[in-house]
Chains A and B, each alone.
Chain A
Amino acid sequence: MNSSDDLLLKVDDLSVAFKTKKGMAEAVRGISLEVSRGESLAVVGESGSGKSVSMLALLNLLPASARIQGSALLGDTQLVGLDAKSMRSIRGRRIAMIFQDPMTAFNPVYTVGRQISETIEAHGTASSSEAMRRAIDLLELVGVPEPAQRVRQYPHEFSGGMRQRAMIAMAIANSPDLLIADEPTTALDVTIQAQVLDVLKDIRAETGAAMILITHDLGVVAGSADRVQVMYGGRVFERGTVDDVFHRPENPYTRGLLASMPRLDSIGGRLEPIPGTPPSVLNMPVGCAFSPRCTYRVDRCLQEPAQLQSLRLGHDNRCHLSGQLPDLVGSAASSDPGGHNDR
């Protein structure tokens, strides 16, 4: 871990609940995370694990029915409960988001160049002609060919991969300290996924921006994150460096995720799905959220939720059986599962 003055974002006990007709839906139940300058943190989990919701909560982009509690410090600024005007000056300028679907994240009636330059103008940092020149530079930076012509085109004239590049260009337009990439490759073809991840990597090397990468694709994590945080049922289940978590997964859920992933080096082997489905946010189990699906379950798991405890330096685990699970020698977790994504 880096020293504290390098700390960019510190989230503590962040909870998000939605008011619904059936009661409060607790989507995020007290997560904490830290991101240092220039670092890349992956947040991994299934749909409904609260990963996207917690990130939208940071920027207060959730609908009005959401109740956000806890603390999220960006430098000295408390993001939770920040007034609308100050929040707008943070969005896009200090924290920028890259969205999942580049097909819908662009306004169809504007040229790509105008949308990028508008992001710059919105923060009053440049005149419109200057902003348009910067848009061209940005598109060039993310590897869009013929950027001077491309800025005059509409989103529908861009292919999916090009659009995602343009979205990255838009996100870095105001040189933010932190990029939040919400499943940036999920909507793309596999061949283009790797290219976009490379662009992200190059961009971060160039601008020094930190990144929170939200994904359910462990292959993406292996190739582009320093640390990983596994979420389930609105809680952090395991976290540590990518190497540590992938080679020595301690949590039954993480092990399940790794075992259910297709691999290049075990041809013919069967994938092992995690049985069951994630719990409903309206009806969380009394004990550990994962207990109904867990193969290692003991009685205690059904009665009380486990606490997140430190296993070794920089590796935390939330499990009653923490450190007591059998080692996974020669199994799915023994080699780098995302090797094909490394350059």
Chain B
Amino acid sequence: MTDTTEGTELAAATLPLRAPAVSPATDALNAQEGLTEKPESLGRQAWNRFRRHKLAIIGVGLLFSLAFAFLVGPVFSPYEVGETNVLDNNQGPSLAHPFGTDPLGRDYFVRAMVGGRFSLLIALVTAICATAIGLVFGSLAGYFGGVFDIAVGFVINALLTIPGLLILIIYGREVGNNLFLLAIVIAVISWVRAARLVRAQVLQLKESEFVLAARAAGAGPVRIITRHLLPNLYGTLLVEITLLVGAAIILESTLSFLGLGAQAPLTTLGNLVADNAGAIDTRPSRVLIPGAIITLIILSINFIGDALRDAVDPKAADES
């Protein structure tokens, strides 16, 4: 549908040039037909390309359903997060407790939802912080080069020589009871890839003719970075944020599993798995449920990330 209107639009645009023999009447008609339609914005086109990936649509649906459940699930449950009921402990799934209960008799559904909430929140904050740090350092290093590039390169290499897990093991426990500090510590070790991506793209973009054209038209460095380079990076950044969310959830789960991430009373999916690992033989559902939620989140995020990468590529053709 959109493809056909676009076709006429293009044909109408080139007609007066390519085929001057066409009678003015038909010409005007074509032009009118094509141009009364409001031109499609780039965002709209990206969405059209995104839409074609069925798995990504499923991913979006799944992720939003999960996030929705995390947010409102606990509200509709008669139980509180920390509410213990020792008489009902270690139960399997039932109508009263859809996910069963843990050894202290806490409702496992509420715990899983709240854990998902925090896991997703940590991951989002981490991804956004890491991408922001990477964007700032990467674009400055790429655009100005020279000493700045060397300095940023040095920091990146230095960070790469230190295993991220080591930093997290050292600082994870200290910040484990503060979600935002934990997210920032994870971000500080994860911005490297974003910075390198941004730097590489800026290096390429700043040599492009449209940047030269902008300079020739009198634009200064601030204007060029904010108006010409950044908008060309949005796609890359969006993909990077998506993939970082997935990576951060895994990293946070790993940490929590090792007992180094979020500390009680905070609940995340990772420490739900960790706390109940001992019950794998007796009540496997307590390990499998948070594990499955992590898997579903990562899967949908990766589907979305793949489709986004496709959708935001400005050179991607609109046919097919």
Interface residues of A (CB under 8 A from B): 59, 61, 84, 88-93, 96-97, 99, 101, 104-111, 118-119, 122-123, 145-146, 149-150, 152-154, 157-159, 161-162, 167, 170-171, 173-174, 191-192, 195
Q: CA separation between A84 and B218, bound complex, in Å? A: 10
A305 to B209, CA, bound (A): 36
Q: How far is the CA of A105 from the CA of B217 in the complex (A)?
A: 11
| Bound complex: CA A122 to CA B216 (Å) | 11
Is A104 a contact partner of B223 (Cβ separation < 8 A)? no
In contact, B218 and A170 (Cβ under 8 angstroms): no
Q: Which secondary structure dominates chain B's binding surface? A: helix
Pick the residue among B38, B39, B216, B232 that contacts A107 (CB under 8 A).
B232
Q: Bound state CA distance, A111 and B314, in angstroms?
A: 13
Q: By the criterion CB–CB under 8 Å, are B218 and A101 in contact?
A: no
Q: Is B295 an interface residue (CB 8 A)?
A: no
A119 / chain B contacts, CB cutoff of 8 Å:
217-218
Does A61 lie within 8 Å of B218, measured CB to CB? no
Task: Tell whether, in the assembled complex, residue B218 and residue A157 are in contact, meaning their CB atoms are under 8 Å apart.
Answer: no
Question: Once the chains are docked, how many angstroms separate the CA of A150 from the CA of B227?
Answer: 21
* Neighbouring A residues of B210 by C-beta, 8 Å: 104-108
Which residues of B approach A to under 8 Å, CB–CB?
9-10, 13-14, 16-18, 31, 35, 38-39, 42, 208-210, 212-220, 223, 227-228, 231-232, 234, 314
Bound Cα distance A90, B217 (Å): 9
Closest approach, in angstroms, between the C-beta of B246 and any C-beta of chain A? 26
CB closest residue in chain A, given B32: A146
Alpha-carbon gap, A131 to B223, bound state (A)? 17
**B6 and chain A: residue at smallest CB distance:** A157
**Closest chain B residue, CB of each to CB of A159:** B14
Interface centre among B38, B215, B217 (most CB of A within 10 A): B217
Q: Which residues of B contact A174 (CB under 8 A)?
A: 218
Give B16's nearest chain A residue, CB to CB. A145
How far apart are the CA atoms of A161 and B17 in the complex, in Å?
8
In the complex, which residues of chain A have a beta carbon less than 8 angstroms from the beta carbon of B216?
59, 61, 91-92, 96-97, 99
Q: Are A109 and B314 in contact (CB under 8 A)?
A: yes
Q: Name which residue of chain A comes closest to B35, CB basis.
A: A149
| Extra 13 A-B pairs, beta carbons < 8 Å, given A108-B210, A109-B232 | A88-B218, A92-B219, A96-B216, A101-B209, A104-B210, A105-B212, A110-B231, A118-B227, A123-B218, A146-B35, A149-B39, A157-B9, A159-B14
